[in-house]
A = this chain, B = another copy of it.
Amino acid sequence: MNENNEQIARFAKALGHPTRIAILRFLANRTTCYFGDIFDELPIAKATVSQHLKELKDAGLIQGEIEAPKVKYCINRENWNVAKSLFAEFFDDCACKKGGCCK
């Protein structure tokens, strides 16, 4: 339970920035997802883009693959589904059940 809390928080934290949400949406709707494609779409420095990608990767939500000299990024489907399930369960669990404190 505590484990789950930490895992959800970790995912949520990675999702907690508009740029990172935008990156994920972008990754889902393109056939080519090289760094350059992502960078072109965003109004920020490439160092910053790289940093956001690193955070998403550290959280396990995406993965990178080198296709020298480019780098191709993808959503990590396995972990994505884990996150999806955790959030779905969480939003249901906390939905003010009968006997809960909500009016």
Contact = CB atoms under 8 A, between A and B. Distances in A.
Contacts of A74: 96, 101-103
A39 to B, nearest CB: 15
A94 B99 CA distance: 35
B99 A31 contact: yes
Given A101-B33, A101-B74, A16 B18 contact: no
Contacts of A49: none
B5 A25 contact: yes
A93 interface: yes
Which are the 8 A-B pairs with shortest beta-carbon distances? Answer: A13-B16, A12-B15, A33-B101, A28-B94, A84-B91, A12-B16, A5-B21, A9-B18
